[in-house]
Amino acid sequence: MKKYEGLFILNVDGSEDAIKNALEKVSAEITAQGGKIENITKMDKRPFARTPDKKVTSGFYVNIALEVPPAAIEVLRSRFALNPVVYRVMFNTGVKAVVPQEEAPVSAEASTEAKA
């Protein structure tokens, strides 16, 4: 099993139910290939800079940290290419799951340097 980070652009209308259903389908596909999802980060719906397909002008971005066998990545790419809900997908290797952290406390030296 190897760690990956997948950036998914979903073709949904932006409602919470549609996003939830799309993420359930994506998660089910990953687990069907023997994978394990570590973290799901919902980003936002963003317009595309260029729109070659005038039917789709924006997408909902989702970042998923997952762990799957290396051979499963090509299978997942081909399966997501057939799924109309997934507009685009990109996998990066060797990425550790990034969990949002609270702001770290500022040390005394840093606070005095900022005042100077």
Domains parsed from the chain with CATH numbers: 2-115 (3.30.70.60)
pLDDT in tens, 25-80: 999 999 999 999 999 999 888 888 887 778 888 889 999 999 999 999 999 999 99
Two structure tokens written together for 78: 């081909």
Does position 108 have pLDDT exceeding 60, yes or no? no
The pLDDT score that the predictor gives to residue 79 is 94
Share of the chain above pLDDT 70, in %: 79
Phi/psi at 94 (5° precision):
65, 30
Cα distances (Å, whole numbers) of residue 21 to 18, 77, 82 = 5, 19, 17
Distance separating alpha carbons of residues 85 and 39, to the nearest angstrom: 20
The whole-model pTM stands at 0.74
With CA atoms as reference, report the closest residue to 66 among 95, 43, 42.
Answer: 95
The token duo for 35 is 């994978």
